[in-house]
Structure 1
């Protein structure tokens, strides 16, 4: 019963977000009390749907390479031949945590200019650490008896990695991706300060015009997307855990 109720809540939240993106004017009566007198209650300088899609694309474009690089480093340092590179790998993935996102944007703009690229760089750097640490924990946390059984069956190192270690580590690795994804979704909103298209544009417009309705639209959409994606990846992690 609880599982069914949870499913309805997820589907209800997804349907509400889609309804708002496809027909935002239907929600005007709910938002008008938060807008200044004579000001629009619904953000009208750009399509909310297009801004949401742009926001998600920026996040995905930053997280995918972060996954590939973090996973590659975790595989390398979890092998005997690469164990000595663990301190260097940790130093690399910690670069993004050394500077706040605003500082990364400020440093990136003079190099790559305004637009999407500074935001991509900031999100990529911030996404490395959780994915790397979780992937490393999953790969090094394999029970010795399982590893010994794989060796005893005649598997090569590559076969053990692909057929045993990665499938068993997958639930822990997905948890790292979940954390990075939520961080990226929220951090991407500040990308609008350097002219990146996203939901941060709605929030900044609301702050500049003292229009709380705009701020609510951008903030609630970002929060709802984070909940939907975090929960969705959680379901994938549980499925991978059962299969493992």
Structure 2
């Protein structure tokens, strides 16, 4: 990443932190977007608390998606699990087949309002990219590499943990990055079922016809997406360099 890009990302991080911790400092910028003396800054809760809640549910859902998708990806690339590949693909595609709002509608009667239905929706929605990238990473490991590891006396478990997973790591991280970015945007709909998050700001703006609120919620989500995308991208490129792979292979 160039020096200019790093400066821009640092500026975006400073702007994000400043806005969620001291939003009133930016009231002058949003005031022209209001009408009828409406508040320029969201005043129905703490932007910092909502941002932390938003990130928290995304992180928890992504961790759960990663654990299941990684386990399935490993299982179906083993000789004993290859016949279950079509079934596994069908399972991880559930989240992409049904819109998140439909998952919420189904989950609310089962688990109630709040974070739980949002977690379920994000968990299901995040499975596919992680699973497919895990599958691609593991299947792209050279048979010669595996044969060399076998010749060194490694058993199947050692080959998996010491050879296959390290070589597949950049692609797995790319899938996790995509899952996080998808979840960040999707999590905003969780506020329709009383989950704490930045969707509250956007919905409040829609209900009161306050464009300033809508823009504030969207701006924070967008900055989070950019910063997390770049941060996870740096980790992917570092992993690729350790393996001696061109970084554009995982871009």
| TM-score, scaled relative to structure 2 | 0.95
Equivalent residue number for residue 35 of structure 1: 34
Superposed displacement of residue 156, structure 1: 1.0
Equivalent residue number for residue 11 of structure 2: 12
Superposed displacement of residue 171, structure 1: 0.5
- After TM superposition, list the pairs within 5 Å mapping 1:14-163 onto structure 2: 14-163=13-162
Deviations 1:75-103 (A, max 9, x none): 00111111111011111101111211111
CA distance, structure 2, for counterparts of residue 13 and residue 194 of structure 1: 30
CA distance, structure 1, for counterparts of residue 196 and residue 12 of structure 2: 24
Equivalent residue number for residue 217 of structure 1: 216
Superposed displacement of residue 152, structure 1: 1.3
CA distance, structure 1, for counterparts of residue 86 and residue 221 of structure 2: 35
Equivalent residue number for residue 232 of structure 2: 233
- After TM superposition, list the pairs within 5 Å mapping 1:196-207 onto structure 2: 196-207=195-206
Q: Secondary structure at the match of 2:65?
A: helix
Q: Secondary structure at the match of 2:126?
A: helix
Superposed displacement of residue 214, structure 1: 0.2
CA distance, structure 1, for counterparts of residue 2 and residue 155 of structure 2: 41
Report which stretch shifted further, 188-197 or 5-14. Answer: 5-14
- Structure 2 unmatched ranges of 5 or more: 244-251
Aligned residue pairs, count: 243
Structure 1 vs Structure 2 CA RMSD: 0.8
CA distance, structure 2, for counterparts of residue 234 and residue 145 of structure 1: 29
